[in-house]
Structure 1
Amino acid sequence: MASGAEQAERQYEQDRLVLDSVDRFLKRDVAPYVHALEKDDIYPEEIVARMKELGLFGAIIPEQYGGLGLRPSLYAKVIERISAVWMSISGIINSHLIMSHIVARTGTEAQKEAFLPRFATGELRGGLALTEPDCGTDLQAIRMTAKRDGDDYVVNGTKTWISNGIHGQCFALLVKTDPTVEPRHAGMSMFLAEKGEGFEVSRKLEKLGYKGIDSAELIFRDYRIPADRLIGGVEGRGMKCAIAGLELGRVNVAARGVGIAQAALDEAVRYAQQRKTFGKPICEHQAIQLKLADMATRTEAARLLTEKAADALDRGDRSDYEAGMAKLFATEAAVENSLEAMRIHGGYGYSKEFIVERLYRDAPLLVIGEGTNEIQRIVIAKRLIERNPA
């Protein structure tokens, strides 16, 4: 029987193989093409095909259903690496895996067997459909309804800002099955909704950054969905499903923040050694050194907070406190580092020829997505009080 040290060493080697494979993929299949794809907001079909081959669409899906079964902590490291090269493709994976995670955590066994193997191969891809035109952070305010009609439910309403909305085929769809019940979350349910009659992609939403991944508005008009697509098989568990997904999503967004913060730091360090003013590289000027030191410290602190939150998920612990802090700090670090990298680059940082311009446009999404950072502060404070009663 292997000792604890031997098991740890084996785990380390297995993790290293996964990360090395991801690094090779990013260097060969992503980095050379990012600039052109991002510039024209082109969906990266060939990159997505390669991600399917690598099994990334099944990254956290249990091995018994055909996935890689990666621990959340290893998955977070994968996302960090991907985001440092091109954040958009991390979103293509993440939204899909949130849906998969919800099914794995809260679905019936029949739903797991029917959907998870297809999710794992990337044959059936999609995402999470929560947001509506009049509802973002306050999920209990959704208006989309699903009314039982025989063996089906009939769905009506609109979802917006849905990642993978155009190129995805299946979505974890949050609805109201009982709009009158109190508390409001008791009337919410979640379905696995595949595209079909009554399910319309109305338009692609244009964005400041986060190009390449499609964000869309979805309209449902008398869309019929079989009752066996109700996740968990029981009405009223929609909020529980959403929370299960967002727990993973916030760790993912934190890891994206670390990736962008690291990329901004790397670009700044490289440029600061190349650019000369007053007869010496600007990295020798104290003003630049202070910026680089703060950027490096923010990045490392963000990484450690993200690892702590991911470790909590590994153990199966409640992690909203840790994930909230990681998401808050890491995404703010991404915004701050991207701005500082631009300032270090000077006028060149404002040019589309340099990577830092893209990082500067991508980073703000992170402080808004998966629950705004203002909401994260409230979650952190509430959990802090719960943990420390007077």
Structure 2
Amino acid sequence: MALDPDTRDQLIAGIRRFVDEQLIPREPEVAETDAIPADVVEGMREMGLFGLSIPEEYGGLGLTMEEEVLVGFEIGRAAPAFRSMFATNVGIGSQGIVIDGTDEQKAKYLPGLASGEIIGSFALTEPDVGSDAGSVRTTARRDGAHYVLNGTKRFITNAPHAGLFTVMARTDPEKKGAAGVSAFAVESGTPGLSVGKPEKKMGQQGAHVADVIFQDCRVPASALIGGVEGQGFKTAMKVLDKGRLGIAAACTGLAERMIDDMVAYATERKQFGRAIADFQLIQAMFADSKAEAMATRALVLDAARRRDAGEDVSMAAACAKMFASEMVGRVADRNVQVHGGNGYIREYRAEQLFRDARLYRIYEGTTQIQQTIIAKALVADARERLGG
């Protein structure tokens, strides 16, 4: 149920203060140490950020998609690593259970995910399976009252911290493609499950990704999300549609922050006896960035409202994620350009945010995958209208 306007506005204002006072000032520390400080994580828990999308009956805030992206606009203004700490609980690390889980699975896991006591993680990508998500090779063989999992997952966000993994595995080797894939809720510490060392990344320091390896990992049959085999890919797609809107919102917030940064810098920086903000070629970069950010905000809000209304938003979510992630990359580049030589120096943060923004065009579906989703939907719609 949607919050009343006053409560929603108070929530957004509180999160904005948290970003300005607690997150942005800690960005250099996070970049240097590659870790989110414990007191910041605790602050996130106290604000309920881990449970934004989890129903109130399980201890979450139960926000609508529109409310969730409004929060995302604010959180996105800080370095993406902060959002990454709780975003898996809000999106891909919990929503498989929220959407398709059994009552028992919801009762067992959602309260801990909502409070942040449990960190959720979504294990889909594999060494040879990225954009082609239907080609999952990790297997889950039924053995009496258990399943035995074998395989390796790659680039799994929050894997080193996770208490619960949503794992996509093939339960029916005879069925090729997505039909034979099922989803499992696998607890960390389960014998046969191990996590590799965190990867060293181009950007987003403080957000940790690692391999997750399953070697004869036995899980009870009750770990099968929804209790039905062969539904894993459908669950994943439902989760990714929602996650893509969350990422699009974060891209919007980051772009808006960088616009503020570049304009403030240009207003103070002087060349040829006046502020560089007065030069028209600099102003053109401001204008292009602002127009693109405003268009993205409108696109994301429209898609979120459509989802809240019960519409199928697979194409709309793909449009939002594609447009937003490409847009924030352009804005990040302009931010460096406006800063000139200082934009290449760490002290000014422009170079860090440039590197941070680059990942948005890759994870939860590359730009090219979003283009494919959009095009296929358009062609299918045309054929239906034309009766072909």
Q: What TM-score comes out, normalization by structure 1 length? A: 0.95
Three-state SS of the structure 2 residue aligned to 1:232 is: helix
**Contact 1:80–1:259 at 8 Å: present in 2 too?**
yes
- 2:293 aligned with 1:299, yes or no? yes
Q: What displacement does 1:140 show?
A: 1.5
**Contact 1:135–1:141 at 8 Å: present in 2 too?**
yes
- 2:88 aligned with 1:107, yes or no? no
User: How far apart are the structure 1 equivalents of 2:19 and 2:277?
Assistant: 28
User: How far apart are the structure 1 equivalents of 2:318 and 2:133?
Assistant: 17
**Contact 1:22–1:78 at 8 Å: present in 2 too?**
yes
- 2:56 aligned with 1:63, yes or no? yes
Query: Which residue of structure 2 aligns with residue 158 of structure 1?
Result: 152
Q: What displacement does 1:134 show?
A: 0.7
Q: Which deviations, in whole Å up to 9, do the C-alpha atoms of 1:210-243 show, x marking residues without a partner? A: 1101101111111111110100001000001101
Q: What displacement does 1:203 show?
A: 1.5
- 2:270 aligned with 1:276, yes or no? yes
Match of 2:238 among 226, 230, 244: 244
Query: Which residue of structure 2 aligns with residue 187 of structure 1?
Result: 180
Query: Which residue of structure 2 aligns with residue 3 of structure 1?
Result: none
Number of equivalent positions: 382
Query: Which residue of structure 2 aligns with residue 77 of structure 1?
Result: 70
Q: Which deviations, in whole Å up to 9, do the C-alpha atoms of 1:292-338 show, x marking residues without a partner? A: 11011011011111111111221222101111111111111100000
Three-state SS of the structure 1 residue aligned to 2:94 is: helix
Query: Which residue of structure 2 aligns with residue 35 of structure 1?
Result: 28
Q: Which moved more, 1:380-389 or 1:85-94?
A: 380-389
Q: What displacement does 1:387 show?
A: 3.0
**Contact 1:176–1:189 at 8 Å: present in 2 too?**
yes
Q: Which moved more, 1:334-343 or 1:121-130?
A: 121-130
Q: Which amino acid aligns with 1:253?
A: I
Q: Which amino acid aligns with 1:47?
A: V
Alignment of 1:343-362 (within 5 A): 343-362=337-356
Q: Which amino acid aligns with 1:90?
A: R
- 2:126 aligned with 1:132, yes or no? yes
Q: Which amino acid aligns with 1:17?
A: Q
Query: Which residue of structure 2 aligns with residue 144 of structure 1?
Result: 138
Q: Which amino acid aligns with 1:362?
A: D
**Contact 1:202–1:219 at 8 Å: present in 2 too?**
yes
Q: What displacement does 1:27 show?
A: 2.5
User: How far apart are the structure 1 equivalents of 2:75 and 2:103?
Assistant: 32
Match of 1:317 among 311, 318, 326: 311
User: How far apart are the structure 1 equivalents of 2:381 and 2:8?
Assistant: 33
Three-state SS of the structure 2 residue aligned to 1:300 is: helix
User: How far apart are the structure 1 equivalents of 2:338 and 2:256?
Assistant: 15
Three-state SS of the structure 2 residue aligned to 1:124 is: coil
- 2:341 aligned with 1:327, yes or no? no
Query: Which residue of structure 1 aligns with residue 333 of structure 2?
Result: 339
Q: Which deviations, in whole Å up to 9, do the C-alpha atoms of 1:77-131 show, x marking residues without a partner? A: 2122112112112122222222211111111111111111111111111211100
Three-state SS of the structure 1 residue aligned to 2:281 is: helix
**Contact 2:135–2:178 at 8 Å: present in 1 too?**
no
**Contact 1:96–1:128 at 8 Å: present in 2 too?**
no
User: How far apart are the structure 2 equivalents of 1:55 and 1:264?
Assistant: 26
User: How far apart are the structure 2 equivalents of 1:48 and 1:79?
Assistant: 17
Q: Which amino acid aligns with 2:304?
A: A
- 2:203 aligned with 1:213, yes or no? no
Q: What displacement does 1:35 show?
A: 0.8
Q: What TM-score comes out, normalization by structure 2 length? A: 0.95
Three-state SS of the structure 2 residue aligned to 1:204 is: coil
Q: What displacement does 1:199 show?
A: 0.8
**Contact 1:44–1:212 at 8 Å: present in 2 too?**
no
Q: Which deviations, in whole Å up to 9, do the C-alpha atoms of 1:257-305 show, x marking residues without a partner? A: 1112112111111011001111111111111111111011011011111
Give the CA RMSD over aligned residues.
Answer: 1.5
- Segments ≥4 residues shifted beyond 4 Å: none
- 2:46 aligned with 1:53, yes or no? yes
User: How far apart are the structure 2 equivalents of 1:181 and 1:386?
Assistant: 24
User: How far apart are the structure 2 equivalents of 1:311 and 1:185?
Assistant: 29
Q: Which amino acid aligns with 2:152?
A: T
Match of 1:257 among 251, 258, 270: 251
Query: Which residue of structure 2 aligns with residue 167 of structure 1?
Result: 161
**Contact 2:36–2:82 at 8 Å: present in 1 too?**
no
- 2:280 aligned with 1:286, yes or no? yes
